[in-house]
């Protein structure tokens, strides 16, 4: 289960939310300073951020913008007071899962957290796949492209002007680096990368 990052400058709010979240079975990390959250939180791991809209130093919009710029895999749920709803809606349009109005309804929170968990899981998987792809050398990427076109080793060797043995070595490295066992898994992985880059 992903960790929940609770980012709110009001200790009374974080204490109450932490109690509620832990009652629901979640592991919670409390951040009463948004700058410390940005500096210290693992932004590319599975997790959900419950983010207050109004805070000193960096407000919720600035934190969300930073997460987007860093291509963070954390899913964001905004916590807002009554007057913040238009701003929260704007942030949902920019990729936040939802916004919850204070005081927080526990049933709505549980439902929204499930959506956020799904989003962060997909984002983290995509991030890890992209990280693996980025470890491929230019030649391995070329060989990968030929493999995905359905070419056999001999055809790849002719197209790339290398020996069949060289193709076999590069193909093996591609499969190892991408953590796949067969062509079908490689194709699925590459489709996931293409979906991320669209």
Q: What is the CATH number of the domain that holds 142?
A: 1.10.10.10
Buried b (16+ CB within 10 A) or exposed e, 13-39: bbeebbeebeeeebebbbbbebeebbe
Report the percentage of the chain scoring pLDDT > 90.
Answer: 77
**What average pLDDT score do residues 19-26 get?**
92
Q: Is residue 130 part of a domain?
A: no
The 10s digit of each residue's pLDDT in 173-186 is 999 999 999 999 99
Of 105, 124, 143, the residue at which a domain comes to its end is 124
pLDDT band of 172, cuts 50, 70, 90:
very high
| pLDDT for the residue numbered 19 | 94
Tell me how far apart the alpha carbons of residues 13 and 70 are, in angstroms, rounded to a whole number: 27
Does residue 78 share a domain with residue 35? Answer: yes
- What's the confidence (pLDDT) of residue 40? 97
Least confident of 14-28, 126-140, 161-175, 184-198: 184-198
Single residue among 99, 124, 149 that ends a domain in this structure: 124
Same domain? For 157 and 177 the reply is yes
Pairing label, strands 98-101, 47-52: unpaired
Can you state the angle between helices 138-148 and 183-196, rounded to 10 degrees? Answer: 110
Tell whether 44 is covered by a domain. Answer: yes
pLDDT in tens, 29-88: 999 999 999 999 999 999 999 999 888 889 999 999 999 999 999 999 998 876 667 777
pLDDT at 101: 86
Parent domain of 170: 135-196
Between CA 157 and CA 48 the distance in angstroms is: 46
Does the residue 129 lie in any domain?
no
CATH number for the domain including 107?
Answer: 3.40.50.2300
H-state helical runs in the chain: 11-23, 34-40, 60-69, 85-93, 106-134, 138-148, 153-160, 164-177, 183-196
């Amino acid at each position: 289960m992903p960790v929940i990052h609770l980012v709110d400058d009001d200790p009374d709010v974080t204490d109450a939310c932490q109690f509620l979240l832990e009652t629901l079975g979640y592991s919670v990390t409390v951040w009463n300073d948004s700058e410390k959250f940005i500096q210290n939180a693992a932004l590319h791991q599975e997790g959900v951020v419950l983010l207050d809209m109004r805070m000193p130093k960096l407000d919720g919009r600035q934190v969300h913008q930073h997460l987007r710029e860093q291509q963070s895999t954390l899913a964001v749920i905004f916590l807002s007071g009554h007057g913040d709803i238009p701003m929260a809606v704007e942030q949902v349009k920019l990729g936040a899962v939802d916004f919850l109005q204070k005081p927080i309804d526990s049933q709505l929170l549980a439902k929204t957290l499930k959506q956020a968990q799904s989003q962060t899981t997909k984002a983290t998987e995509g991030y890890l796949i992209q990280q693996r792809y980025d470890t491929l050398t230019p030649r391995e990427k070329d060989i990968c492209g030929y493999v995905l076109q359905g070419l056999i080793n001999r055809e790849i060797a002719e197209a790339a002007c290398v020996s069949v043995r060289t193709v076999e070595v590069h193909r093996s490295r591609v499969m190892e680096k991408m953590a796949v066992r067969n062509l079908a898994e490689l194709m699925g992985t590459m489709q996931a990368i293409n979906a991320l880059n669209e």
